[in-house]
Amino acid sequence: MKNHKPWRNAPLQEAVFEIRFPSIADYALFAGGMAMSQKEDFPKTLKLHADIPEMIELAGLVKHRFISKDESLLFQTGSDVLSINSIRYSGFSDFLESIQKILIGTEKFINISNFTRLGLRYINKFSNVEDPSTILNINLPFNDMDVSKTQLLQIHKINDEGMLQAINIQFPAAPKDLILDLDVSLNLPQQSWDVNAISSWADKAHDIIWDKFQALISDSEKEVRI
């Protein structure tokens, strides 16, 4: 794990770790078991999408949200998905520790080793932006693109280790915000990993996101945030 010095005024809104797995037959056992085993750290539980009938299965649909005492962290469960969301991010080492702890609890109810997808995502927001080029170092993929008329830019590539790296830039958003969404994911339906292997992958994914974030942010923006 690299030692990344936190920024004084970071634009990060939310960090999300996600693992998907084959749909489980007894979701009620999974959700109830997680509610009981994590109750001390996540005492508040919300049921989501109550308007969707139980017999309807939608891939990646989260059905319950479990919120920490200080509301800085939450995790969400569905019949084929678990996400862990840091709302008030205090650094990757703390976030990774929370991921590991929740995954260990999850192992009691589902087999996480045969996952279908791993994902790590960092969502950043820059407010009151007039010109995206003052915030980001953007290399446009096409010579005839006009960044002032481009509301959504998505760039995807796969590295040598099979990780899909995604850069999503949205501007303007509500009404002059710029959203920089950085995501790294891995699809391995035939692999079998334990919590340590998944944690190691998350560590690598975080380093990729950090390096890309550092390269994308302009020097002038760094001056007011670092």
Residues 6+ apart with CB under 8 A from 213: 122, 124, 180, 182
Say what the pTM is. 0.92
Q: Provide the terminal-to-terminal Cα distance of the chain, rounded to the nearest Å.
A: 21
| Other Cβ atoms within 10 Å of 90 Cβ, number | 11
Structure token digits, residue 142: 């096409």
Q: Half-sphere exposure of 130 toward its Cβ, with a 13 Å CA cutoff?
A: 0
**pLDDT tens per residue across span 23-45:** 998 999 999 999 999 999 999 99
Count the helices and strands in the chain (H runs, E runs).
4, 9
Distance (Å) of CA 78 to CA 13, 33, 34, 49: 23, 13, 11, 11
**pLDDT tens per residue across span 169-216:** 999 888 899 999 999 999 976 667 999 999 999 999 999 999 999 999
**pLDDT tens per residue across span 114-153:** 899 999 999 999 999 988 889 999 766 555 556 556 688 8
